[in-house]
Amino acid sequence: MTGAPTTDPPPILAVGAAAIDEWYAVSNLPEPDGGAFASEVTTAFGGVGANVCVALDRLGRDVGLVSRVGDDEYGERARGYLADTGVDASRVSVGDDPSTRSVILSDPAGERAIVTAGESFRRLRLDEADCEALAATDTVFLTGYAPDAVSRAVLDVIASAADPPALAFDLSGSVEELVGRGTEPETVHRLLHAADLFVADDVAAAAYFGGPDAAINRVAAAQRAREDGGGGRSPLTGDDWPRAVLTHGADGMTVVADGAVTGFDAFEVDVVDATGAGDSFVAGLIDRLLAGRDGGDGSRRERVGVADGVRFAAAVAAINCTSRFAQTGLPTRDEAEAFLAERGN
């Protein structure tokens, strides 16, 4: 462990990878049998779980990470980086397997391709203390990259908790990408019906649902089934639940909530690097739609409606895209709100 877990978990706990990204600035994203030239090669901190945590930390939220790294240079660097943030990393364990790491190819337009290696996060399993912490927190974030055994354990924790936390789930990757290392389709189906906030990008939606229209229909049906079963109200606020956001990159977002389907535009910015844009967007949604009123800076904040929450999250993602790497451009709350004010939101 990076340190003994705190007695009481922070109000937000994320289950996801903490990784080192090997970043290549390439002339182009190569086609099959094609090539590219890297004008720069460097490393940065990443991993979906860590990205979401650091984004929430920058927004002033009290957040912790449940993860696993290897006992190697990459794992040591990841733990050292976390120690320099406000993220509670006391539930990051260390194993004998190679640390999870990613090779990211980023072209001049900010588009990227990602290849991930390393067994450390894939072999994460939740122990009794992890489960107790997840049951005691207010909000849990889970990614589709989590091992299926972990995703099932999170669902079991929430189902058995006397006062269950709100659950945010990001579908993350395609079926092929997650085979043998991520959340399986049957578990995704359970998460679709259990999550208070369900997020999927176009690649994931196409892989699991067959396309955007099918995704909307399946999500809406799951929401109706939950509401008809009496589980459609938030344990925290009493608001209508659940909510789903389907993301389309620069083409915006589609929100399925409260019996309606609504489209939202993305903000136009000069994109430097889109790595981590989806993770920062999810963090913004968690901050505005799920997280408790008491922010990390001690102030009291009311939750906002779906539209305002989505715009805030889109602002967080847009700002992050104006800097290289997954985390260097993550904004503070004041910076995100100033961005929105400049655009009349």
> Which residues on neighbouring strands pair with residue 209, listed in sequence order?
none
Over residues 124-136, the mean pLDDT reads 96
pLDDT band of residue 294 (cuts 50, 70, 90) is: very low
Cα 317 from chain centre: 12
Over residues 124-139, the mean pLDDT reads 96
pLDDT tops 60 at residue 127: yes
Q: What is the pLDDT of residue 188?
A: 92
Question: Distance between CA atoms of 123 and 11, rounded to whole angstroms?
Answer: 25
The domain segmentation of the chain, as residue ranges, is 12-19+48-98+118-342
In this structure, how many other beta carbons lie within 10 angstroms of the beta carbon of residue 259?
10
Strands (E), the chain: 12-15, 19-26, 38-46, 63-70, 88-95, 101-106, 112-117, 139-143, 166-170, 197-201, 243-247, 253-257, 260-264
pLDDT tops 70 at residue 231: no
Q: Is the CATH code 3.40.1190.20 the one for domain 12-19+48-98+118-342?
A: yes
Structural contact between residues 170 and 47, judged by C-beta atoms closer than 8 angstroms: no
Structural contact between residues 23 and 325, judged by C-beta atoms closer than 8 angstroms: yes
Q: What is the pLDDT of residue 250?
A: 87
Q: What is the pLDDT of residue 233?
A: 46
pLDDT band of residue 112 (cuts 50, 70, 90) is: confident
